[in-house]
Structures are given as C-alpha cells and as structure tokens.
Amino acid sequence: MIGNAFAVCLAGTAAVAVYIASLYLQGTLGLTPLEAGLGFAPVTGLILMISTQTRRVLDRFPLRTGMIAGALIAAGGMLHLSLLSEDGSYLTDVLPGLIAVGVGTGLTYAPSFVAATAGVPDALTGAASGLINASLQIGAAVLLASLVAVMSLTGALNPLAGYRTALLVGAALPLTAALLAALLPTVAGQDASLGSRMQKRNAAQ
C-alpha cells in the first residue's frame, strides 16, 4: 500500500508540473503550442536517460533512501515552479523546475514498483503490477483534476496566481511521498538496495 501511494503522489506531481508549465509557456510567455512542446523535449530525454540508469545508481543505496531523495528533488522542482513570474523565461522559470521534477520522478519510478510488490507471492506479482499501473493512471488524473480546480479558484482574476498556488499546493505531493517512503518497513531486509532486491527476486524465480 505504501509503495502504491508513493507512486501515485509522484505521478500526480509530474502531471501537475507538466500541465501548468504548458499553460504558463503558452498563456504567459506567449509561446506557440509547438514551441511549448519542444520545451519539454530535453526533460523527456533526461527522464528516459535517468530511468535506464536508476538501478546502477540505487544499487549503492537502500531502496528507501533513493525514494526519499527522489521525492525531495521533485518537491524542490515544484517549489521552483511555484515562483513563476509574469516576465519570466523558459530557461530560468520553467526548465530548472521541470528538470528537478523529471530527475526526482525518474529516480523513484523503478523503486516504487519494487516497494509496491515487495512481499507479494510470485503467483500474484502480475496482479500487483497491474494494480500499481492502474493506480498511477487513475491517481494522477484525480490529483491533476483536484489541483486544476485549485488553480481555477485562485486564478479567476489572475491566471498566474492560480498557477503559483496550484504548484505550491502540489509540492505537498512529493513531500507526502517522502514521508510515505520513510514509513517503509526496515525489518527482514525491507530496506535493501534495489539491486539486491531484484537479485533475490530473480533467484526465487
């Protein structure tokens, strides 16, 4: 349950960051949809690169430590984005925050799946993986819709104020995820590194 909730919080974080950044780039900075879309390309590439190297990085650290670190990095990104300004720019106001959110979520994606399926019998591993995937899709949509409502309420007269407020409130999502990761059990090898967990699982199979 903790791993599931953690993954949902981080998925919601990424969805909110990307959605509001897109609105800011087009509505406030005046970029075209194509220009705004291209602005996300470096971040997407970074996430893909980090995701492929996650196991190598986290082999050296306990699973819980990597999850907490990733969540806190993502929280820093959300806080940076909450400082969006009327006369800001993509390079200073948007890109650093998106990179931090991307790095944080990239570091936590694989570990959250491991945490969510830890202790699950081999016969139920597929069902557990399906559950977390469904949780990610539904949870991210619900969290995004909730924060869009916050954005609409607080930005009725000033859209930029709504962006800032929603992003600031959204920073609570990765912070909550960090707290959840801290609650992961540490007994019976529950805080082993990602690499050692995967080795044990492969050996069991």
The 10s digit of each residue's pLDDT in 108-140 is 888 888 887 777 777 777 787 788 888 888 889
Per residue, the 3-state secondary structure of the chain, as one string, reads: CHHHHHHHHHHHHHHHHHHHHHHHHHHHCCCCHHHHHHHCHHHHHHHHHHHHHHHHHHCCCEHHHHHHHHHHHHHHHHHHHCCCCCCCCHHHHHHHHHHHHHHHHHHHHHHHHHHHHCCCCHHHHHHHHHHHHHHHHHHHHHHHHHHHHHHHHHCCCCHHHHHHHHHHHHCHHHHHHHHHHHCCCCHHHCCCEHHHHHHHHHHHC
pLDDT of 189 strictly over 50:
no
Name all domains of the chain by residue range, CATH numbers in brackets.
2-195 (1.20.1250.20)
Give pLDDT, residue 187: 38
Q: Write the pLDDT tens digit of every residue in 54-102.
A: 777 667 778 888 899 999 999 999 999 999 999 999 999 999 999 999 9
Q: Which of 51, 162, 39 is nearest to 106 (CA)?
A: 51
Supply the pLDDT for residue 106: 86
pLDDT of residue 204: 46
Query: Do 30 and 90 contact (CB within 8 A), yes or no?
Result: no
Amino acid at 157: L
Residue 4 has pLDDT above 90, yes or no: no
Q: Check: CB of residue 39 under 8 Å from CB of residue 95.
A: yes
pLDDT of residue 44: 85
List, for residues 14-54, the tens digit of each pLDDT value: 999 999 999 999 999 999 999 999 999 988 888 788 777 77
pLDDT of residue 188: 35
